[in-house]
Amino acid sequence: MKVKEIVKGLGIFERNKVSLEMKILGIAIYIQTSSVRRTAKILSEFHPVSKSAVHKWIKKFEEELPIVMERKPRKVIAIDETIVKANGQNYYVYAAIDVERNELILMRVYPSRNYLTTKLFISEALKYCENKPKFVIDKAPWLIKAPESLGLEYEHETFR
């Protein structure tokens, strides 16, 4: 399932003043920066957003899909990315979800989507694992090549 579809499926963002894509971008930026103020400032370059709005999005998101960025044993991690458009520019939001615990362990925004970006993301996700879990990915070439090059077990699942 694409990151955008996961968030949409949670049904947590009922008002449409700010697009779902902008909210996803905001959550990913917050996870990278750990700062509501900085996230609001970055997003305001695309669309006026307040700190309190960003804070509400994060709290609603965490109620449905906890953000647990701590090192622990993990069995299966689903990795996927989605394209988010802001001001005519494409951004790629990657997410890693511990399937067994239903926890988001990592979310990052990148300006491009390729093998090296994916390898970097998976390497960073592994920092939150005490072991080498199996990865669930779709059949995108960049998602296949990255775990292979890292010697990781993976399986394909078509996300819809």
Q: Tell me, what CATH number does 115's domain have?
A: 3.30.420.10
Burial class of 11 by CB neighbour count within 10 A (0 to 12, 13 to 18, 19+): exposed
Residues 83 and 135 in one domain: yes
pLDDT at 11: 59
Q: Are residues 152 and 95 in the same domain?
A: yes
Residue 14: what pLDDT?
60
pLDDT in tens, 59-100: 888 888 888 889 999 999 999 888 888 888 899 999 999 999
Nearest to 85 by CA among 46, 33, 30, 128: 46
The whole-model pTM stands at 0.82
Q: Are residues 149 and 81 in the same domain?
A: yes
Q: How many CB atoms lie within 10 A of CB 15?
A: 7
Report helix, strand and coil shares of the chain as percent, to nearest 5: 40, 25, 35
3-state DSSP call for residue 12? coil
Q: Tell me the torsion sign for CA atoms 22, 25, 30, 31.
A: positive
β-sheet bridge partners, residue 103: 98
Is residue 3 predicted with pLDDT exceeding 80? no
Residue 27 and residue 93 in one domain: no
Please report whether residue 33 resides in a domain.
Answer: yes
All residues at 6 or more sequence positions from 159 whose CB lies less than 8 Å from its CB, including other chains: 1, 2, 5, 80, 138
Residue type, 143: L
Provide mean pLDDT across the span 140-146: 90
Domain that holds residue 50: 3-64
